[in-house]
Amino acid sequence: MSSLVGIIGEGQGATLGSMTAEPYIAVTLDATVNEVFTASASVTENPVEDGSNVCDHVREEPDELQIEGIISNTPIMPLASLYNVPTRAEDAYSALLGLMSARVAITVSTAKGDYEDMVMTSLSRTRNAAAGDAVQVTMKLRKIRKVASTEVGAPKRPATVQKKRKPLGKQPTAPAKNQSFLSALSGG
């Protein structure tokens, strides 16, 4: 099970992370530009018989979440660019790539709510002059459906009732004919 503890205030970015990844990975976005939550269902393409339960012909799809966010280099490390040291934004982007490649369930905390058991299905990065050294990311996540299996013993087989056979005694046997099928057809 994934779990993440984070305090997110209104107007702040999203925090996402996984306790199951080794080592623990957590990333906080400085700002969430766009957050889209999608709940959907699939409806059968086949005709539905009148009077049948309609819910039998509708299947819920896993929830999806898309987040567009920005990770800045605040606080700025003045000598980082001189010595080619990775910046805070680059480190955060690397951590996001690590979350995606770890293929583990993560928890996303935003100002609008917490989303547990999500898997990152897409991560894109945008660079432009307006963003400067900040990293703009777009992430798509999808909820994992979890089920629990239970082991149940197989029912015992009922005892079969066998009929007693009546002895038929000695039966005469007919001697085998040494004749092929074709020769029997031709009368030979």
pLDDT digits (tens, 9 = 90+) for 121-179: 999 998 888 877 888 999 999 999 888 899 988 888 777 766 777 777 787 777 766 77
Give one DSSP letter per residue of 126-176, joined into a string.
Answer: E--TTTTT-EEEEEEEEEPP-------PPPPPPPPPPPPPPP------PPP
Least confident of 13-17, 26-30, 48-52, 132-136: 13-17
**Domain parsing of the chain, residue ranges:** 15-43+56-141
Which CATH code, of 2.40.330, 2.40.30, 3.10.450, 2.60.120, is assigned to 15-43+56-141? 2.40.30
Q: Quick one: how far is CA 71 from the chain centroid?
A: 27
How far is residue 68 from each of residues 39, 114, 147, measured CA to CA in Å? Answer: 18, 16, 30
Residue 179, both tokens? 């004749």
